[in-house]
Structure 1
Amino acid sequence: MSTILLVGLLSACGSDDKASADKASADKEETTKEQKSDVYSGKELEKYNAYVELSNAVNMEFLEAQSQYFQDYSDENGKYKKPSNDNYPPIRAVGLTTNALEDANKYLDKSPSFAADKEAAKLVKDLDKDSKTLTELDNYYRSKGYIDDNFKKGETLHNDFLKSSETTNKDIKAFNEKMSKLIDKQQEAAAKEMKDAGELTVYNVNNFITQAEKLITTLESQGINASNVLDTDLAAYEDVYNQFTKSYDELIKASKDEKQLKKEELTEDDLSSVINSANTTKAEASSLLNRLKNKEAISQADIESPSFINTVEGTPERLMESYNKLVDDYNTFINSPF
């Protein structure tokens, strides 16, 4: 269970035609500004998005794959545990992580420089090794290589992965800390720019997504997933949930403000996909709150089916899936030529 960070959040709505029509007015306004916008653009935005994608992949996919592997193939002391009955538990794929590593690697030694460059370089190196080890372990069990060597390679790979994971996890923590500050700063700058430009509808969409992210971060900081959902600090979750709900109400109100929509050259139809996803995310957050209040544990059968846990109502995993869809729809929305 991990936080998804926004990619494309700093892009602006509007077609090239609209930009051209507003250029004269914007140029005039720009002459009165003494300070350059803090929002990334151009090469800065490209590198920023590559780093955000890396953080997304690590927190959403790699850490879960790592955790699931050790849960299935380690004893209580972390030592190698052979699968039983010739039926090995599946090892989760890390394709998103592999792709993100390739993209991030393109920017490591190139300008502009970011505060997270050092941490990103170290993380890319360590994750590349660990991702390959997970893939090798998966191939080993899929091909039943353990029949040929009586699990010797499986144990060796396990020990290598166990040792390297200590360093990798420290590097992930360091990278996340730097990226968290960077992302917070960019989101604040983007929100200010939207308000200053009079893009109040887009601002409300952005604010709702930011509040949803805080809701998920609250769960992540407690290490909450389907298996331990009732360990959630209800007061902490509900506190953030109340702000999240407030931002939802403001978004729905903004989406129906015909006067403001016209000013931003938007229609309710333009926002339909985002609003639908916002409704789903709100519903999932509410279902989870209801589960916590009623102390409804998730069945063991559902917990043991990680591929399907995101279909179970009121789970952190399902909330995360709805949030992912919300971010995707938002990024499509802001890059659409209205």
Structure 2
Amino acid sequence: MVATRRSAVRLLAGSLMCLVVVAPALAAETPNASDALTEKLNAYIGCLNRLSARAFDSRARYFSWAAKTGPTGKERIVYGTYTIYDTKDCRAAVEKANAIEPHEPELEAAASAYAGVVGKLEPLLKETDDYYTQENYKDDKMAKGKALHPRLVAAWDAFADADRKLRGGVEVIKDRQSAEKLAAIERSEGRKARYQIEATMIDAKRVIRVAEADKPDLAALTAAIDAYGKTVAANEAFTEGERNAKIGSMFMSNAKSFLVTAKQLMRRQRDKTPYSSGEKMMLSNAGSGWMVEGSPPRLLRDYNQLVDSYNRGAGF
């Protein structure tokens, strides 16, 4: 979800096939959150939205053809890597946001670390892209490619760590805000439309977080999906029982689609169902993994569609 409904900011994730711990969209505005805190968080989220997915895609592209130990010069296909967007705006935004009160020292330190690491990654990826785009490896027998490899691995590892810490810090505050908002809605309105929708987003976020954990936990994933499924069922019951329920049909459709995909992913883990060769090919290509049923990219795609429908109003 987002910091404010009218200025929607979606926190996009890197490729889940890169074994990166990611936390896609964030929670909506809360009654107790100050405008200053929202401004601070939006600056950090903006950096993650703009830079992280591309940085992780660059790593996925590189390792789609290069061995884990690095290129040898004997590769049949050499794709190179991707560059990332200019990082100056992110570094400036973080510096400005860190000066805003209320201060969150750990989060601000994580944001500074992220900006610093991504700022170093940018020129390295540009250097690497020039080398492979110009096919200079054909002139030096991949000498520079071999020299670049450990630098790239170190830079991507540092970036993944910084990304994880910044996302985690933002999530802590957003989780707190989401809980406060849900409690405030229940106190003022009861468990009606707005409550049901907010509860759906909180439970959906819990599913995506468990699904993306470093170590798969089938029991935790199953429990999160069961809880989310009960919330979706409560939404349906509420909509059927209330003449003016104000829960949009698109929101409900996306909520159900996310549930279906979550269950498909859980069953793949439970039954140890391998991906077919065709599915593996789609998963290895950035932008195609969502087409594989029960895959992490499909789950993320469906989650982002649910977030989009929430941001458009979800019927209220």
Q: So what's the TM-score if we normalise by structure 1?
A: 0.73
Partners of 1:194 and 1:203 within 8 A in 2: yes
2:32 counterpart (17, 32, 38):
38
Percent identical pairs in the alignment equals: 20
Question: Aligned AA for 2:66?
Answer: Y
Q: Provide the rounded CA distance (Å) in 2 between the counterparts of 1:278 and 1:246.
A: 12
Per-residue CA deviations over 1:106-139 (Å, capped at 9, x if unaligned) read 6344312334112101211111221442344234
Partners of 1:3 and 1:59 within 8 A in 2: no
SS of structure 1 residue aligned to 2:96:
coil
Q: Provide the rounded CA distance (Å) in 1 between the counterparts of 2:89 and 2:174.
A: 17
Per-residue CA deviations over 1:28-84 (Å, capped at 9, x if unaligned) read xxxxxxxxx5324x3321221232344456765534543553564343xxx422364
How many residues are paired up? 291
Identify the residue that residue 272 of structure 1 maps to in structure 2: 249
1:6 counterpart (11, 25, 39):
25
1:159 equivalent in alignment to 2:171 = no
Partners of 2:70 and 2:146 within 8 A in 1: yes
1:87 equivalent in alignment to 2:80 = no
Q: Structure 1's 131 and 204: CA in aligned 2 closer, same or farther, altered over 3 A?
A: farther
Identify the residue that residue 171 of structure 2 maps to in structure 1: 180
Per-residue CA deviations over 1:184-216 (Å, capped at 9, x if unaligned) read 111112222322332731222222122122112
Per-residue CA deviations over 1:147-184 (Å, capped at 9, x if unaligned) read 23332332333222223344434433432342232121
Q: Provide the rounded CA distance (Å) in 2 between the counterparts of 1:246 and 1:284.
A: 16
Q: Structure 1's 181 and 85: CA in aligned 2 closer, same or farther, altered over 3 A?
A: closer
Question: Aligned AA for 2:206?
Answer: K
Q: Provide the rounded CA distance (Å) in 2 between the counterparts of 1:258 and 1:103.
A: 49
2:266 counterpart (289, 293, 307):
289
Q: Give the unaligned 5+ runs of structure 1.
A: 12-36, 224-231
Task: Give 1:9 shift.
Answer: 1.0
Identify the residue that residue 301 of structure 2 maps to in structure 1: 321
Q: Structure 1's 302 and 7: CA in aligned 2 closer, same or farther, altered over 3 A?
A: same
1:212 equivalent in alignment to 2:204 = yes
Identify the residue that residue 223 of structure 2 maps to in structure 1: 239
Q: Give the unaligned 5+ runs of structure 2.
A: 1-15
Identify the residue that residue 31 of structure 1 maps to in structure 2: none
Question: Aligned AA for 1:148?
Answer: D
Root mean square deviation of aligned Cα: 3.2
Identify the residue that residue 182 of structure 2 maps to in structure 1: 191
Identify the residue that residue 33 of structure 1 maps to in structure 2: none
Identify the residue that residue 250 of structure 1 maps to in structure 2: 234
Q: So what's the TM-score if we normalise by structure 2?
A: 0.77
Identify the residue that residue 304 of structure 1 maps to in structure 2: 281
